[in-house]
Structure 1
Amino acid sequence: MTGRLAGKTAFITGAARGIGRAQAVRFADEGAAIVGVDICGPVDSVQVPPSTPEDLDETARLVEARGGRIVTDVVDVRDVNALRAAADRGADHFGGLDIVCATAGITSRAFAADMTESMWRTMLDVNLTGVWNTCTAAIPHLIHGGGGSVVLVSSIAGLRGLVGVAHYTAAKHGVVGLMRSLAIDVAPHGIRVNCVHPTNVDTPMIQNDVVRRAFRPDLIRPPTRDEFAESATRMNMLPVPWVEAVDVANASLFLASDEARYITSASLPVDAGATQR
């Protein structure tokens, strides 16, 4: 532990697995206490297997195994009152909040003209309004503490268009707009707000038959991991099919730390060059 976040507390949504878990573990490695929340259950219109309470327990175990401190809550980011209660409990437990990572998100696929209203609304509710809810729930604690850092997890879909995910792309572009305006609003309080933009990340959100089939429509059977990787590599400039969750966590750590003390309203791609293809 090198202590880049020593004495700080991070509020992280989507903490049960994937990027959120990686942020929790990586931040704990650097001395932060963690308030981790996740829905730990299914979301309507989403076919990707959901996170579970056991996943969130595993995040807590991993943090504590590194000597870190963590409290967890099962919360849906669409429920702003529940988020506020979780943020309040975490702040009371650790004596405040200093960092916010709005990481929770979902994915689903359909061409825009074929998409149901439910798919559209659910995507915007989770991936955009859920980010706003997270910010409104936690930022008052940062203001009370005299400053801090907010990291919003967008996507390469927040910087470019992608086929078959118009709702996801709209939500992730919206996160960038929210970041830019929010950064102006909270700058007088010493709070910085930035986005990270991953390409595909090797997490359960992409490593499932639903997403793999979308990348390999030429195959009748479910694609293997290697067959998926072959197609996914074409998205990126560097010869890799995806990045690891820790790569996104490392970028988030930089933005959350004092090393980025004068960086705000910035978009940081962690994309293996995908936004330049």
Structure 2
Amino acid sequence: MGMLQDKVVMVTGAARGQGRAHAIASASEGADIILVDAVRQIETVPYPLAEPTDLEHTAKEVEALGRRAIQVVADVRSQADLDAAVQKGLEAFGKIDCLIANAGIFSMGSFWELDEQTWTDMIDVNLNGVWKCAKAVARHMIEREQGSIVITGSIDALEPGGGYTHYTAAKYGVIGLMKSVALELAPYGIRANCICPGFVDSGMTNNQPSYDMVAGHPGGTREEFVANGHHFTALKGVTAMEPSRMADTALYLNSALAARVTGVVIPVDAGHMLLSGHNHNPVR
């Protein structure tokens, strides 16, 4: 019997990275999965976003574990898209027990140089999108008087991030949103919590702009990305973390083990928040 046996989990940003990890982890513990992703590029995002083949790959991974999956192409910026995704999930599985609001984007730029579209896209996906996801499942969960919502925040929701103010602002907002959602849904027996990932090796970071940021110069390499990642963490031998580490925490939060846990923020950062921001002597 798995931790999520016969549950139904809706995951946004499910095509790859942390979203795929959430889908696979949930399926491995007995859940059927509603896979939601926009699978298209946003012009202000400087790295390639997921494609339809990525979403198909995630579905195959879930099905290989003996669980069912449906693929829904939906943009979290659109309430109509998300409402339709929920309806498709209900038609396929009859219920939705858990939401993992994971879809997100990243870009960089000094706040005084950001153009309005870059700011708007960031807030629309990373903050407004979370609100719309929670809104889409809320009525169904309220009717059943049960449910769990897990939101992907960021360590940048707990400390300032120079060079990506718009991302930091959105993630700070996510924590306030989560706490209010948790408070409003508590009378219905519904829980809401937030995971704040540290440095994660995913499609959002495994690209040239991130290599340059981590290396501290143009032309950064994957090798520098891995080597310098040790300076972000405190735990021995940890650099950029596997997305599955975030999924492990979401499993806990969505399971009966966390039945009395709501409104909390869990950093999964390999001890980053214990540091002053830089590990000058990492243990490799």
Question: TM-score, normalised to structure 2's length?
Answer: 0.94
- Count how many residue pairs are aligned between Structure 1 and Structure 2: 274
Write out per-residue CA displacement over residues 177-219 of structure 1, whole angstroms, 9 at most, x where no aligned residue: 001111010001110000000011111110100111112233x
SS of the aligned residue for 1:265 comes to coil
Match of 1:269 in 2: 267
Q: SS at the partner of 2:151? A: strand
Shift of 1:144: 2.1
- Counterpart in 2 of 1:241? 239
Per-residue CA shift, 1:95-140, capped at 9, x if unaligned?
1111000000000001112111111111000000000010001122
Percent identity of equivalent pairs: 41
Q: Which is worse superposed, 208-217 or 232-241?
A: 232-241
1:101 maps to what in 2? 100
CA-CA distance at 1:225 after TM superposition: 1.4
Contact persistence 1:237–1:272 (CA under 8 A): yes
Counterpart CA distance in 2 for 1:216 and 1:65 is 38
AA paired with 1:53? P
Which residues of 2 match residues 87-236 of structure 1 at below 5 A? 87-218=86-217, 220=218, 222-236=219-233
The DSSP-based 3-state class of the residue aligned with 1:114 is coil
State the secondary structure of the residue aligned to 2:182: helix
Q: Distance in 2 between matches of 1:162 and 1:236?
A: 16
- How many angstroms apart in 2 are the aligned matches of 1:164 and 1:172? 14
Q: Which runs of 5+ in 2 are unaligned?
A: 276-284
- The aligned amino acid for 1:250 is D
**Counterpart-to-counterpart distance in 2, 1:238 and 1:145:** 41
What is the CA distance between 1:230 and its match in structure 2?
2.1
* Mapped partners of 2:97, 2:86: distance in 1: 11
Residues 216-275 of structure 1: per-residue CA shift (max 9 Å, x gap): 233x4x222111122222121224221111000000000000100000000011101112
Separation of aligned partners in 1, 2:6 and 2:145: 14
Secondary structure class of the residue paired with 1:129: helix
Tell me the equivalent position of 1:63. 62
**RMSD across aligned C-alpha pairs, in angstroms?**
1.0
**Contact 1:198/1:248 (CA < 8 Å) preserved in 2?**
yes
- Report the Cα distance in structure 2 between the residues aligned to 1:232 and 1:92, rounded to whole angstroms: 44
Cα offsets for 1:151-191 (capped at 9, x unmatched): 00000011111121100000001000001111010001110
User: 5+ residue gaps in structure 1?
Assistant: none
The residue that corresponds to 1:42 in the other structure is: 41
SS in structure 2 of the partner of residue 173 of structure 1: helix
Contact 1:11 1:138 in 2 (8 A): no
Aligned-partner residue type, residue 30 of structure 1: E
